[in-house]
Amino acid sequence: MKSIYFITFVILFTAPLFTFSQASQVYNPGADATADIKKAVELAQKEGKHVFLQIGGNWCPWCIKFHNFVTADSEITTYLKQNFEVVKVNYDQKNRQEELLEKLGFPQRFGFPVFVVLDNNGNRVHTQNSAFLEKDKSYDRETVLRFLKNWSPAAIDAESYKK
């Protein structure tokens, strides 16, 4: 009888931990970030978008919080899909992405998550410290939307300012 109680106890208290670890796998540690970015740039060229790099890791609470924040807001999700190819770049102790981050101008200097916007040719046009998008213990919806709109393809298209 004691073993049944023990098994029940183990199942009840470890199942939530397993569920949390599965839910928090926003970043793919085995992904080839360079190949993913190359593919995203190709798609961005075809669709007239920019590339949005969300650099962080599953170990980072604010990285997971940003992912959850964006996916919970349909307007932000839609705006991202319409204007950006999104790539989640995993950064962790086993894969520090040193060569890639050097090419991107060392965005890790701002901490994680950090966001890098590439144009549709793969050129870095902006690096965003995520701390400036925070409010209280989350992200500020209006600030995040303003950031995305300020770095969308239309926002930095010189033609849009000549009218």
Give 62-115 pLDDT, tens digit per residue.
999 999 999 999 999 999 999 999 999 999 999 999 999 999 999 999 999 999
| 3-state SS class at 128 | strand
Domains and CATH numbers, the chain: 25-157 (3.40.30.10)
The predicted model scores a pTM of 0.85
Percent of the chain as helix, strand, coil, to the nearest 5: 55, 20, 30
- Which residues, 6 or more positions from 98, have their beta carbon under 8 angstroms from its beta carbon? none
Percentage of the chain lying above the pLDDT 70 cut: 85
Q: CA-CA-CA-CA torsion for 90, 93, 99, 100, nearest 10 degrees?
A: 10
Is the predicted pLDDT of residue 40 greater than 70, yes or no?
yes
Is the predicted pLDDT of residue 154 greater than 60, yes or no?
yes
Model pLDDT, residue 59? 97
